[in-house]
């Protein structure tokens, strides 16, 4: 008999129709990894401004290349994924409502080297590298260990209910368990910026999209004026 996944949080939300739903956030069982990856692509990659700017969602080859780093980090136990699902006691039929994905690294770990073949993934890597050049929490706080952000999403029908904020709260708990003093991430959407703000995250760096566009030589379509690097101090 398989062991039940670790439960990080239990909470309730009220949907727009007045329905009260009991939810929990748990370590993602390996049996639902394909579900998480499918939803990650659908609700994160297809909606996130930097992925769109690089043209990744429109290229089948780029989408395949995108999944390789995620699968590799998952296979070497570097990836830590939690999912939000119904709190109905069913560990066999888990319906993923949202998820948070991070990868743990140590200070002396060698950074992975990826040689992407598609121009879309090359562009995405350029954007990511440029953002890191603006702010790197490992250097700023001399961290021995850190969790790098790999994405966070909530299915559209459950948005606006505080689930993203609860996922950010769970990130704090995970960091505390792993002895990570500061966790940071680039927030590029209104939803994640507000959810992190409500959980007490601090803005330590803000980059206007027009300035970023000049640096990377490509247009970023966003309703927001800037991307924000926000941190949670773990106590």
Cα distance between residue 137 and residue 80, in whole Å: 19
With 70 as the cut, is the pLDDT of residue 95 above it?
Answer: yes
Dihedral class, residue 95 (left if φ above 0, else alpha if ψ from -120 to 50, else beta): beta
38 Cβ partners below 8 Å, 6+ apart? none
| Interval 114-132 mean pLDDT | 92
Q: Which of 16-25, 65-74, 123-132, 215-224 has the lowest mean pLDDT?
A: 65-74
> What pLDDT is recorded for position 111?
62
- pTM of the full structure: 0.91
How far apart, in Å, are the Cα atoms of 204 and each of 40, 107, 120?
27, 21, 29
7-14 and 20-27 strand pairing: antiparallel
> What pLDDT is recorded for position 112?
62
With 60 as the cut, is the pLDDT of residue 1 above it?
Answer: no
Give Cα 25 distance to the centre of its chain: 15
| Interval 37-64 mean pLDDT | 94
CATH 3.30.420.10 fits 7-233, yes or no: no
């Amino acid at each position: 008999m398989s062991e039940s996944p670790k439960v990080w949080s239990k909470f309730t939300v009220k949907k727009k129709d007045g329905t009260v739903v009991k939810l929990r956030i748990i370590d993602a069982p390996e049996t639902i990894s394909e579900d998480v990856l499918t939803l990650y692509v659908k609700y994160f990659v297809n909606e996130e401004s930097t992925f769109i700017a690089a043209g990744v969602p429109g290229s089948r080859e780029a989408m395949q290349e995108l999944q390789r780093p995620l699968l590799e980090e998952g296979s070497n136990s570097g990836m830590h994924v939690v999912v939000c699902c119904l709190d109905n006691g069913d560990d066999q039929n888990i319906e993923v409502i949202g998820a948070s994905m991070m990868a743990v690294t140590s200070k002396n770990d060698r950074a992975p080297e990826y040689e992407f073949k598609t121009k879309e993934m090359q562009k995405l890597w350029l954007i990511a590298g440029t953002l890191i050049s603006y702010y790197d929490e490992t250097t700023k706080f001399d961290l021995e260990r850190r969790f790098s952000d790999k994405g966070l999403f909530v299915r559209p029908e459950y948005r606006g209910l505080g689930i993203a904020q609860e996922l950010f709260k769970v990130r704090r708990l995970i960091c505390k368990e792993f002895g990570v003093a500061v966790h940071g991430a680039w927030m590029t959407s209104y939803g994640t910026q507000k959810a992190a703000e409500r959980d007490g995250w601090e803005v330590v760096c803000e980059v206007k999209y027009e300035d970023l566009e000049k640096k990377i030589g490509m247009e970023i379509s966003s309703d927001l004026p800037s991307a924000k690097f926000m941190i949670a101090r773990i106590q």
